[in-house]
Amino acid sequence: MAIEHIFDSASSVMTVISFATFCGILLWTFVLKGNKDFETQAALPFADDNEDNTGESGHG
């Protein structure tokens, strides 16, 4: 009976630790990291493909 109580307590502690870790990752990603990185990465699909080329499109 005592071992079951220990495992139940350990399970509860691990749940709390896992949730705290998840919240920490969210905090670090969205609050501390800032929006500048996200804005830069969001603009990548619209970046010009010909920045390194000398005016040639490279298609065809």
Residue 17 lies in a domain: yes
Per-residue pLDDT at 25: 93
Residue 8 lies in a domain: yes
Q: Which residues constitute the domain of residue 26?
A: 2-44
Per-residue pLDDT at 9: 86
Residue 52 lies in a domain: no
Residue 51 lies in a domain: no
What is the Cβ-side half-sphere exposure of residue 9, based on CA atoms within 13 angstroms?
Answer: 6
Q: Is the Cβ–Cβ distance between 27 and 19 less than 8 Å?
A: no
Sign of the alpha-carbon dihedral angle for 20, 22, 28, 30: negative
Residue 30 lies in a domain: yes
- pLDDT digit string (tens) for 20-57? 999 999 988 887 766 677 788 888 888 886 555 555 55
How many domains does the chain fold into?
A: 1
Q: Is the pTM of this model over 0.75?
A: no
